[in-house]
């Protein structure tokens, strides 16, 4: 999570250096997603994050962005990315947003 927060901070800092910054009060919040009881075989499954949300009105294509654990890489919707390494995918995508600033 530290890598995600770091690159997100860097993206906001880059953006703030180029324009008068604007956004929502929840700008830059991140939340881990855990499986439901029904999706879990045991406590180990239940306690392992399966995704991450990043709220950013200013960066990215939508307000909420979802990075979900999956067996293979996919980008099924404009605000959803799937990857075996969802944290790494979040870092990669946020770095891409930085290129657009």
Domain that holds residue 26: 2-99
State the total domains in the chain. 1
Give the tens place of pLDDT for each residue, 56-101. 988 999 999 999 999 999 999 999 999 999 999 999 999 999 998 8
Which residues 6+ apart lie within 8 Å of 98 measured at CB? Answer: 7, 10, 11, 14
pLDDT of residue 49: 98
Give the tens place of pLDDT for each residue, 18-61. 877 667 788 899 999 999 999 999 999 999 999 999 999 889 99
pTM: 0.92
């Amino acid at each position: 999570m530290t890598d995600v927060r770091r690159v997100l901070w860097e993206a906001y800092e880059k953006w703030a250096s180029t324009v008068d910054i604007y956004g929502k009060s929840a700008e830059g919040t991140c939340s881990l997603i855990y499986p439901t009881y029904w999706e879990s075989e045991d406590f180990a499954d239940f306690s392992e994050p399966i995704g991450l949300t990043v709220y950013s009105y200013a960066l990215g294509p939508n307000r909420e962005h979802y990075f979900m654990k999956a067996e293979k890489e996919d980008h099924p919707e404009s605000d959803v990315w799937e990857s075996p390494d969802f944290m790494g995918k979040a870092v990669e995508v946020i770095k891409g947003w930085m290129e657009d600033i």
